[in-house]
Amino acid sequence: PEASPHPPMVELSRYACKRRTSTENHNEIFTDAFEVLAESYEFSQCDSQCLAFRRAASVLKSVPCPLQHVGAAASLPCLGGHTRAVMQEILQYGQSCEVEKILCNDRYQMLKLFTSVFGVGPKTAEKWYRGGLRTLKDALEDPSIELNSMQKAGFLHHKDISQSVSRAEAMALGDILHETALGISAHAVLVLTGGFRRGKAFGHDVDFLLSTPEKGKEEILLLSLVDSLRRQGILLYCDHHTSTFDINNMPGVSFEAMDHFAKSFLILRLYDSQVEGGLQRVEGQDDGRSWRAVRVDVVTPPMERYAFALLGWTGSRQFERDLRRFARKENRMLLDNHGLWDNTKKEFLEAESEEDIFAHLGLEYIEPQLRNA
Ligand code: DGT
Ligand code: MG
């Protein structure tokens, strides 16, 4: 849309779960800068500053036009003095001095590089940086570093995994997994979730929910699926987490904690011939390979927890964080990927669909394509 100095603003909620956010971002110049700042704070373990910039970015993503004056941001929630100063600088000079400094910072660049390896989180990256490592080769060759199997796979497939996954590639993987699952059980249900369910054109991985109406058979279905992928020769790596789900557990408060459903973090081989329009070209790939490696997550909730798991795995992360915060602050309820606890009624609220959960929370339903907060 046409940029106007004072665009008519619909009043935006401070909760991402009350905003509609499509994949179209009109304020990328600001949100990209905020995300660099958030990440830099994350690397320094300054969680509240990190969250403040993530929240500000999330709000701007739901603004339906480019902001041309910092004054237009005055009525927006979650934009404090620091975020507005960054915006002002970008509007005036085209870039933020603080952001440019971070981008040139050695430590930031190194932590970014190290955390780009599957299995390497900010803490390990920091340790490597402090230990004097400056390249991925350093990490591979340092005799004092013992890589775990996930990191070994991460290094082995680093080039492929660093390349984003296209929608066509995600669809092709969905077809392969669906067919494989149906070959194991005619009742298997497989649904694409994560960013691709929100309509994103690219992702860093592909997320699926797998389930079956046969009670207590979800995990065995997942193990059989992985086994079948191995026999098909397309399984490059599997990290399986066995279910620790207990129906009586109260919903967890922290979003960051992993849920308790059985799940597998996979690296799969996807062939060019399996993808409509072919694989995306992997930059610098000239080894004549006709396949690429792709990161895939498969989570298997029991069917009666399906709606909660689907809502929890569809994202975005900011949307999920705010759903939980909204439930807690506005409803005295605890929400996570397993269920919803009403602290007033002292009971779990059941749900067959995502719509049921929004209704329990007193929220208007927001379709997945508008959850890109
Ligand atoms: P991307 O980067 O294109 O793959 O984007 P998304 O939105 O697919 O992000 P992803 O794959 O990291 O995660 C998808 C959703 O899965 C996310 O919105 C929430 C859920 N999820 C993933 N990891 C965790 C976790 O560690 N804890 C919780 N509670 N949820 C998670
Ligand atoms: Mg994803």
CA distance 373 to 314: 12
Distance in Å, CA 1 to ligand 1 centroid? 30
Tokens of 152: 């070994």
User: What pLDDT digit, counting tens, does each position of 307-345 carry?
Assistant: 999 999 999 999 999 999 999 999 999 999 999 999 999
CA distance 79 to 58: 10
Residue with the nearest Cα to atom 24 of ligand 1?
Answer: 258
Distance in Å, CA 292 to ligand 1 centroid? 22
CA distance 142 to 224: 37
In this structure, are residues 201 and 167 in contact, taking their beta carbons and an 8 Å threshold?
yes
Q: In what order do the strands lie in the sheet with 340-342?
A: 333-335, 340-342, 347-349
Residue with the nearest Cα to atom 27 of ligand 1?
Answer: 258
Residue with the nearest Cα to atom 2 of ligand 1?
Answer: 204
In this structure, are residues 308 and 296 in contact, taking their beta carbons and an 8 Å threshold?
no
Distance in Å, CA 204 to ligand 2 centroid? 6
Residue with the nearest Cα to atom 25 of ligand 1?
Answer: 258
In this structure, are residues 256 and 296 in contact, taking their beta carbons and an 8 Å threshold?
no
Tokens of 118: 């599957």
pLDDT in tens, the chain (373 residues): 455 445 555 689 999 999 999 999 999 999 999 999 999 999 999 999 999 999 999 999 999 999 999 999 999 999 999 999 999 999 999 999 999 999 999 999 999 999 999 999 999 999 999 999 999 999 999 999 999 999 999 999 999 999 999 999 999 999 999 999 999 999 999 999 999 999 999 999 999 999 999 999 999 999 999 999 999 999 999 999 999 998 888 888 677 788 999 999 999 999 999 999 999 876 666 688 999 999 999 999 999 999 999 999 999 999 999 999 999 999 999 999 999 999 999 999 999 999 999 999 999 999 999 999 9
Distance in Å, CA 4 to ligand 1 centroid? 35
Q: How far is CA 332 from the centre of its chain?
A: 26
Domains of the chain (ranges; CATH) run 16-102 (1.10.150.110), 108-156 (1.10.150.20), 162-305 (3.30.460.10), 310-370 (3.30.210.10)
Give the C-alpha distances (Å, rounded to integers) separating 323 from 64, 129, 254: 22, 36, 12
Active-site residues, by number, are 205, 207, 297
pTM equals 0.95
Q: Which residues line ligand 1 (CB under 6 A)?
A: 194-195, 200, 203-205, 207, 255-256, 258-259, 313, 315-317, 320, 337
